[in-house]
């Protein structure tokens, strides 16, 4: 059994997808897992030598390491044990990502890049001896995995026939980014024309977070979707900078007008892959309507999803199927069997692959981590732990990851995320300043 320190950025923990991904290590790994927040100007007050493996999750964004604490950045670089990175959005500032991997001495990379293009993104001459393995961007959320089918509303009881939430990423990211908004535009227009009940949006104000997101999915008979990822790699950031300047001067520039600038990049790689949203929909009994794509070979077109062509020429046929509740129910049932019941795409299966990947590095030394060096989540609240991480020069490893996403803006929602705390039956206190709640907890602890 190895002692593993999982690194994450608490300010990126505002969606269930990231929370599930980061939390899966402690929930399913056969190894000892601790967590450490990498941002803010804090420093570890413990030795990384207590650990066998460091895991750098995608929330850390290796292409933006200026957000890291310099103390933690140095400690990670100096660590002599195995370092594993799980980058995502590898198309953005790819050179900086490469530099980060090399600076930190990462030896295992679990990437979203297709196997046949890994050497193109990560040239072997830059990464001698580094092992790469392809993984998905996310898996079946554990809290949805075992929901009884009978507890979910049947297709004919759902009032929203077609649902969707997307966003505009900008023309510079190519076709996959373009479709994320265009599919919403096309289906909204077609649903309005045919009088089909729908709830489709792609602006920032339309976005839905946390538990409201799951409620939205469960209210829809179908949800439309596109492949995750982007094909256009911006290795040095120049493409995005030029696009922002161009769109500033020509705010009405259309994608058709812009696309010739990146057409050659579209042919370099196919990054279209399965999205974590697909597993959420399958688990909640919502049938998938997907734009043509490979989706990491997770789905079988026509069986566990309804396929819409890339030119949208069959959109009326798709909506005819959507209006047939028995057809939609059959597609949703097939997706549940293949994606959820099979267990193939669970986080438990993913972490088993991770455990296997780090074992081939060699036997562990059987040194046990001193449990008193890890701050447990039981008995403490968010504010107290925030104080330890943000109001102190010292930072401790924790037994659970810490949600700091409310620091992104003054209006961001604050959520308690400690599964252990909730499992222990302790009621989280109402939102207050971190130090007010820390003092309250310390008084209660002294009384007991």
To which residue do tokens 């670089």 refer? 77
Task: Note the pLDDT of residue 371.
Answer: 47
Q: For residues 445 and 34, give the distance between their C-alpha atoms in angstroms, rounded to a whole number.
A: 24
Q: For residues 161 and 170, give the distance between their C-alpha atoms in angstroms, rounded to a whole number.
A: 28
- Whether residue 441 is predicted with pLDDT greater than 90 in this model: the reply is no
pLDDT digits (tens, 9 = 90+) for 42-52: 788 888 999 99
171 and 255 Cβ atoms separated by less than 8 Å: yes
Q: What is the mean pLDDT of residues 388-397?
A: 57
To which residue do tokens 């997307």 refer? 166
220 conformational bin, left if phi > 0, alpha if psi -120 to 50, beta if neither: beta
- Whether residue 419 is predicted with pLDDT greater than 50 in this model: the reply is no
Q: For residues 448 and 444, give the distance between their C-alpha atoms in angstroms, rounded to a whole number.
A: 6
Task: Note the pLDDT of residue 117.
Answer: 96
Q: Reduce the DSSP state of residue 249 to 3 states and report it.
A: helix
2 and 34 Cβ atoms separated by less than 8 Å: no
Task: Note the pLDDT of residue 14.
Answer: 80
- Whether residue 16 is predicted with pLDDT greater than 80 in this model: the reply is yes
Q: For residues 352 and 109, give the distance between their C-alpha atoms in angstroms, rounded to a whole number.
A: 16
Q: Do domains 3-139+347-447 and 144-341 have the same CATH topology?
A: yes
Structure tokens at 27: 């929930």
Q: Which residue has the higher pLDDT, 46 or 108?
A: 108
- Whether residue 324 is predicted with pLDDT greater than 50 in this model: the reply is yes
CATH of span 144-341 = 3.40.50
- Whether residue 422 is predicted with pLDDT greater than 70 in this model: the reply is no
- Whether residue 319 is predicted with pLDDT greater than 90 in this model: the reply is yes
Task: Note the pLDDT of residue 361.
Answer: 57
Q: Reduce the DSSP state of residue 151 to 3 states and report it.
A: helix
Antiparallel, parallel or unpaired: β 198-201 and 160-165: parallel
Q: For residues 383 and 389, give the distance between their C-alpha atoms in angstroms, rounded to a whole number.
A: 10
Task: Note the pLDDT of residue 196.
Answer: 98
Q: For residues 145 and 142, give the distance between their C-alpha atoms in angstroms, rounded to a whole number.
A: 5
Task: Note the pLDDT of residue 158.
Answer: 96
Confidence of residue 395 (pLDDT cuts 50, 70, 90): low
Residue 386: exposure state from Cβ atoms within 10 A (0-12, 13-18, ≥19): buried
Q: What is the mean pLDDT of residues 238-242?
A: 96
Phi, psi of 163 (to 5 degrees): -120, 155
Task: Note the pLDDT of residue 421.
Answer: 29
Q: Which residue has the higher pLDDT, 206 or 412?
A: 206
Task: Note the pLDDT of residue 354.
Answer: 96
Domain 3-139+347-447 has CATH 3.40.50: yes
Strand pairing partners for 8?
A: 37
- Whether residue 165 is predicted with pLDDT greater than 90 in this model: the reply is yes
Q: For residues 98 and 96, give the distance between their C-alpha atoms in angstroms, rounded to a whole number.
A: 5
Q: Which residue has the higher pLDDT, 205 or 184?
A: 184
Q: For residues 263 and 248, give the distance between their C-alpha atoms in angstroms, rounded to a whole number.
A: 22
- Each domain of the chain, given as residue ranges in start order, spans 3-139+347-447, 144-341
- Whether residue 184 is predicted with pLDDT greater than 80 in this model: the reply is yes
Task: Note the pLDDT of residue 431.
Answer: 33
Structure tokens at 381: 């609240």
- Whether residue 147 is predicted with pLDDT greater than 50 in this model: the reply is yes
Confidence of residue 295 (pLDDT cuts 50, 70, 90): very high
């Amino acid at each position: 059994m190895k002692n593993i320190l999982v690194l994450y950025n608490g300010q990126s923990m505002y969606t269930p997808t990231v929370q599930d991904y980061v939390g899966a290590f402690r929930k399913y790994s056969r190894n000892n897992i601790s967590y450490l927040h990498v941002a803010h100007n804090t420093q570890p007050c413990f030795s990384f030598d207590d650990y066998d493996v460091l895991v750098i999750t995608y929330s850390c964004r290796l292409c933006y390491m200026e957000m890291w604490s310099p103390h933690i950045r140095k400690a990670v670089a100096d660590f002599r044990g195995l370092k594993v990175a799980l980058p995502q959005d590898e198309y953005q500032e790819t050179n900086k990502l490469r530099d980060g991997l090399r600076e930190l001495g990462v030896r295992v990379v679990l990437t979203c890049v297709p196997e046949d293009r890994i050497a193109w993104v990560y040239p072997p001459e830059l990464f001698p001896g580094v092992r790469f393995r392809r993984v998905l961007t996310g898996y079946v959320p554990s809290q949805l995995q075992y929901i009884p089918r009978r507890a979910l509303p049947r297709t004919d009881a759902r009032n929203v026939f077609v649902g969707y939430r997307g966003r505009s990423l900008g023309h510079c990211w190519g076709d996959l980014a373009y479709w994320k908004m265009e599919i919403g535009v096309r289906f909204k227009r077609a649903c309005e024309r045919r009088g089909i009940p729908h709830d489709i949006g792609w602006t920032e104000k339309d976005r839905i977070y946390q538990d409201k997101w799951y409620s939205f999915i469960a209210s829809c008979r179908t949800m439309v979707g596109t492949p995750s990822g982007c094909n256009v790699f911006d290795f040095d950031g120049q493409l995005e900078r030029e696009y922002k300047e161009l769109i500033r001067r020509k705010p009405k520039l259309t994608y058709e007008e812009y696309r010739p600038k990146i057409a050659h990049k579209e042919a370099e790689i196919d990054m279209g892959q399965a999205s974590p949203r697909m597993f959420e929909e399958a688990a909640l009994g919502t049938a998938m309507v997907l734009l043509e794509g490979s989706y990491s070979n997770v789905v079988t077109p026509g069986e566990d999803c309804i396929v819409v062509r890339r030119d949208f020429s069959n959109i009326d046929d798709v909506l005819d199927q959507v209006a047939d509740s028995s057809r939609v129910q059959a597609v949703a049932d097939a997706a549940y069997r293949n994606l959820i019941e099979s267990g193939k795409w669970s986080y438990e299966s993913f972490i088993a692959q991770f455990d296997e990947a780090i074992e081939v590095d060699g036997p562990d030394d059987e040194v046990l981590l001193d449990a008193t060096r890890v701050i447990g989540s039981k008995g403490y609240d968010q504010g107290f732990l925030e104080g330890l991480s943000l109001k102190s020069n010292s930072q401790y490893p924790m037994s659970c990851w810490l949600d700091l996403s409310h620091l992104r803006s003054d209006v961001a929602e604050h959520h308690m995320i400690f599964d252990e705390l909730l499992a222990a039956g302790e009621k989280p206190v109402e939102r207050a300043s971190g130090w007010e709640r820390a003092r309250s907890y310390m008084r209660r602890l002294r009384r007991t």
